[in-house]
Amino acid sequence: MNRILILFAHPLQQKSRINAQMIKSIEGLENVTINNLYNNYPDFFIDVNKEQDLLTQHDLIIWHHPFYWYSAPSILKEWFDLVLEHGFAFGKNGGELKGKTCMNVITTGARKETYTYNGFNRYPLNAFMIPFEQSAHLCQMNYLPPYAVHGSHLLDDNEVNSIARQYKADIIKLRDYDIPCSNFKKFEYSNDAISQLMP
Amino acid sequence: MTQDSIFLNSIIYLTAAVVSVPIAKKAGLGSVLGYLLAGIIIGPHALHLVGNEGAEIMHFAEFGVVIMLFLIGLELHPSMLWQMKRQIFGLGGLQIGITASIITVLSAFFWLNLTQAVTTGLILAISSTAIVLQTLSEKGLLKTQAGQHSFSVLLMQDISVIPILSIIALLAGEAASSGDLIVTENVVAHEGWQKFLIIIAIVAFIIIAGRFFAHYLFRFIAETKMREIFTATALLMIISITLAMNYVGLSPALGTFIAGVVLANSEYRHELENNLEPFKGLLLGLFFISVGANIDFILLKNNLLTIVFILSLLIITKLIVLYILGRAFKLNYSQNMLFTFSLAQSGEFAFVLISFATQNGIYDSFTSGVLLIVVALSMLITPLLFIINEKWIQPKLAKIDAKPPEDIIDNETNPVIIAGFGRFGMVLGRFLVANGIKATIIDNNPHNIDYLRKFGYKVYYGDITNANTLKSAGAEEAKILVITMNDRNQIDSLVNVAKRNHPHLKLIVRGIDIAHALELKNKGVDAVKQETFGSAVSLGIEALKNLDFNSYQAQRAANTFKHLGQQLMDKLQQRYSPDDPHFVMETKKFSEHLENILLMQQKHPIQDMDCAWDPESLIEEAKEHHLKQNKNEN
């Protein structure tokens, strides 16, 4: 049993299709906390103590966001800068997050094929994840491969619904079963790891 | 005096003051000398515009000294007074004792009998509170070490007038009385101990009433918002104390001084100061003029050498005694010289005491006449002594004293003054206090003040648009003046007063509407915000959120709206020309008619303007691209 914290960062929810649906699908799940950063901190004034408390109360930390400029929307950076303080998340007296697991849930407009060395975006998605991965490492957390939804621009409503349903099912699995972290790392995406390792 | 003669006299005195004081000040002589010279000019020996009633006017004008002591009391907290006890009783006591003894010996040696000599010593030992304090405060020197020492000595002299009267009465060998305002011998025909009890009772009454009840009275009066009634109350209080003091035979100046000290912590302090200041100034001026007018130049001419000799002896004796005492009380050279040259004259009490002694048969008319001239001349040359000290002595001492004299800095010199402390100002004040910034707060609503004082804020009641209030609130030392008053005219006049008198002050102003904000901006205030704008937009955010806007969406809408508002302000600002009636009308119309604002917004709806993160165009492009690719593949 893992308690899951979803740190959701989307500045334009009113126009979002995929992300809004995905989040909606997991709303109200037991032991899943959704922390909507743009809604809770519209002025970017992040309550550091509250956020740190939330982190310590959960086992799996998920950064759920659209892929903006090969990274996360700006409030998530603000969240990293403020919440993962020295002395809390890392450093001699840090280590509060030690042993926790974390993961990015990402939606990209471009299709998966563009994220290759020969593709339009010139690197695989995992290559852009290095800052997150290393941050997790600094905080002694297990970093899972990204959970990605590609090609969002071209999805029709049915596809969006099935993605949202899949997301809910996967979150429930991650909540209810032990996560074989070291085996996850053999996969490029967590989507595949969950379907193969956690049937 | 008939009504006409009162008016005629008023014109003479006022003209004299209006003409001579500015000239004297321009010439660097100070106002006191200006008044004295004016008196001489209109007096019986020059233009003869006023005759013998000068002496009567002088007694009346001594009331100015009473008000002055009250105002000085207001500046002194009881704790400060307690700290000064050594200077008051030690320095003051020694000054009177030693000076009186030396003058007694000199007088007896040259020509007077023992009774006359002792009387003369005591009378001439006392300096002029009126001239010294007026001059020191005019020059801003009252708070220096020398100023404080001078004040202490003058206070002690004032206290000792009562025992000196008793001694003179004793020397004369008979009970006597005088109907004078400043000092009167005991008119209460009681035994000594009874009299003592009555004195204690009255002083206790002043202290208790001032400490516990004056507050309610002043608030009650202030709430009527009738300035003249506040002034009337203040005058009533001082005159009552004066009469009560006369009744028990104490110095009224001492009584009002005590009342002033008691009220020094009152929030109505600034208001009292402002209301009484003009009375004090005019009465003191009148007093100085009458001193000038009363100098008997015929007697002076006939006995010139004698009088000059006595005058020199008096001044030199005083200078030497003061200098030695100043050194003994550890004043540095420069401060000591200021102290010494300040107090080297004889004072207004001497006029009273000399006539008292003459009435009691101690002096013949010649001796008293000569002494009166000596006293008047010593007052006349005091401003000159100040000038000598400033121009000749201080520059030389600057090299001797290693460091400049340290001013005793008023403890209410905060970097920020907040004018207006209603609900708006209070939030702002709390914000500053929360950031460790100290503020002096002035409000003209007595209700607010009571409320805030309960919560430990140091708030003063007063009309800060008055230049004097602004100054006494510490405008010289402050960096920022925050104006949060809600009356447009008051805001404007305060901005003008502050700009004129304290150009260094940064002005942070709450404007009433757009037109007002523009006007203020063009007057050169450093920052201006419309009073209701911020909170209205904040409430608008809440409204949007309840209409299913996301928090962040609502926040951005507000930011955009504020940004547009600022842009509009800047645009209007660039076009601003107060001389162009067209523009003035336009902005006025703009701020008054909602219609214009709404029209402007219709052209630029915020919803459409904010394209941030909007993927629509991107999706469009992606779809086009996708179609093209499919075509190519096919």
Structural domains of chain A in order of their starting residue, each with its CATH number: 4-197 (3.40.50.360)
CA distance A18 to A11: 14
- Per-residue pLDDT, A69: 94
Please state the domain count of chain B: 3
Spatial distance between the Cα atoms of B215 and A40, rounded to a whole number of angstroms = 49
Interface test with B, best of A12, A108, A154, A157 (most B CBs within 10 A): A12
Is the same domain home to B310 and B196?
yes
ipTM more than 0.85? no
Give contacts of A42 with chain B, Cβ < 8 Å: 541, 550-552, 554-556
Q: State the pLDDT confidence band at A28, using cuts at 50, 70 and 90.
A: very high
Nearest Cα to Cα of residue A104 among A57, A150, A65: A65
Same-domain check for residues B339 and B459: no
- Decide: B99 and B344 in contact? Cβ < 8 Å: no
Q: Tell me the two tokens of residue B7.
A: 């008016």
- Does B426 lie in the same domain as B396? no
- ∠ CA B229-B230-B236, rounded to 5°: 85
Global pTM reads: 0.51
- Is residue B525 in a domain? no
Binary contact (B549, A42; C-beta < 8 A) = no
Best residue of A153, A155, A157, A160 to probe chain B, by most B CBs closer than 10 Å: A153
Q: Which of A120, A117, A133 is nearest to A185 (CA)?
A: A133
- Residues sharing a CB contact under 8 Å with residue B85, sequence separation 6 or more, in sequence order: none
* Token pair of B455 as six digits: 């919560």
A154 and B622 in contact by Cβ < 8 A? Answer: yes
Q: In this structure, are strands B506-511 and B480-483 parallel, antiparallel, or unpaired?
A: parallel
Flag if A42 and B616 touch (Cβ within 8 Å): no
- Terminal alpha carbon distance of chain A: 16
Rounded Cα gap, residues A49 and B252, in angstroms: 65
**pLDDT value of position B405:** 36
* CA proximity to B245, closest of B233, B234, B253, B237: B253
In angstroms, rounded to a whole number, what is the distance separating the alpha carbons of residues A50 and A79? 12
Claim to verify: residue B173 and residue B144 sit in the same structural domain: yes
Of B288, B382, B341, the C-alpha closest to B29 is: B382
Q: Does any domain span residue B432?
A: yes
State which residue of chain B sits closest to A44, comparing Cα positions. B552
Tell me the nearest-neighbour CA distance from B440 into chain A, angstroms. 31
Q: Domain with B437 in it: what CATH number?
A: 3.40.50.720
Task: Assess contact for B375 and B127: CB atoms under 8 A.
Answer: no
- Note whether A154 contacts B623, CB cutoff 8 Å: yes
pLDDT of residue B574: 76
**Nearest-CA distance from A87 to chain B in Å?**
26
Interface of A with B in 9-28 (CB under 8 A): 11-15
The answer, for A43 touching chain B at a CB cutoff of 8 Å, is: yes
CB pairs under 8 A between A and B: 48
B370 contacts B306 by C-beta, under 8 angstroms: yes
Judge whether B406 lies within some domain.
Answer: no
- CB A133, CB A140: distance < 8 Å: no
With CA atoms as reference, the chain A residue closest to B554 would be A42
- pLDDT, residue B618, reads 77
Chain B residues touching A14 at Cβ < 8 A:
549-550, 553
Give the nearest partner residue to B554 out of A12, A15, A42, using CB atoms: A42
Check residues A10 and B191 and name the one with the higher pLDDT: A10
Assign residue B484 a region: left if phi > 0, alpha if psi is -120 to 50, beta otherwise? alpha
SS (H, E, C) B370-418: HHHHHHHHHHHHHHHHHHHHHHHHHHHHHHHCCCCCCCCCCCCCCCEEE
Task: Classify residue A192 by burial, with Cβ atoms within 10 Å: 0-12, 13-18, 19+.
Answer: middle
Of B362, B379, B400, the residue that ends a domain is B400
- Structural domain includes residue B393: yes
Q: Residue B590: which domain range?
A: 532-634
Q: Are residues B383 and B428 in the same domain?
A: no
CA–CA separation, B325 vs B125, rounded Å?
Answer: 14
Across the interface, whether the CB atoms of B623 and A73 are under 8 A apart is answered: no
B424 plus B385 within the same structural domain: no
**Last residue of some domain: B380, B400, B420?**
B400
Q: How distant is the Cα of A191 from the closest Cα of chain B, in angstroms?
A: 24
| Predicted pLDDT of residue B407 | 28
Are residues B360 and B457 located together in one domain of the fold? Answer: no
Where among B400, B434, B457 does a domain terminate? Answer: B400
Q: Which residues in chain A have Cβ-Cβ distances shorter than 8 Å to B616?
A: 15
Which residues of chain A have a CB within 8 Å of the CB of B614?
Answer: 12, 15
Residue of B552, B614, B618 lying closest to A38 (CB–CB) = B552
- Whether residue B512 is contained in a domain is answered as no
Q: Is A68 on the interface with B (CB under 8 A)?
A: yes
Residues of chain A contacting residue B549, judged by C-beta atoms under 8 Å apart: 14
Task: Read off the CATH number of the domain in which B83 is found.
Answer: 1.20.1530.20
A154, B553: Cβ pair inside 8 Å? Answer: no
Give the model's pLDDT for residue B408: 30
Give the integer Cα–Cα distance in Å for A13 and B518.
Answer: 39
Low-confidence stretches of chain B (pLDDT < 50) are: 174-189, 402-411, 593-594
Residues of chain B found within 8 Å of residue A73, distances taken between Cβ atoms: 613
Tens-place pLDDT, residues B358-416: 878 888 888 888 888 898 889 888 888 888 888 888 877 766 654 433 323 244 578 89
Are B470 and B550 part of one and the same domain?
Answer: no
Same domain, B382 and B425: no
Count of positions (residues) in chain B = 634
Say yes or no for a CB contact (<8 Å) between A14 and B613.
Answer: no
Q: Are residues B419 and B555 in the same domain?
A: no
Does residue B69 contact residue B260 with C-beta atoms inside 8 Å? yes
By C-alpha distance, which of B496, B510, B449, B501 is closest to B475? Answer: B501
Tell me what percent of the residues of chain A surpass a pLDDT of 70: 100
Confidence of residue A108 (pLDDT cuts 50, 70, 90): very high
Same domain, B122 and B222: yes
pLDDT in the model for residue B583:
66
Q: What is the pLDDT of residue A38?
A: 94
| In a domain? residue B517 | no
**B372 and B228 assigned to the same domain:** yes
Residues A109, B616: C-beta atoms closer than 8 Å: no
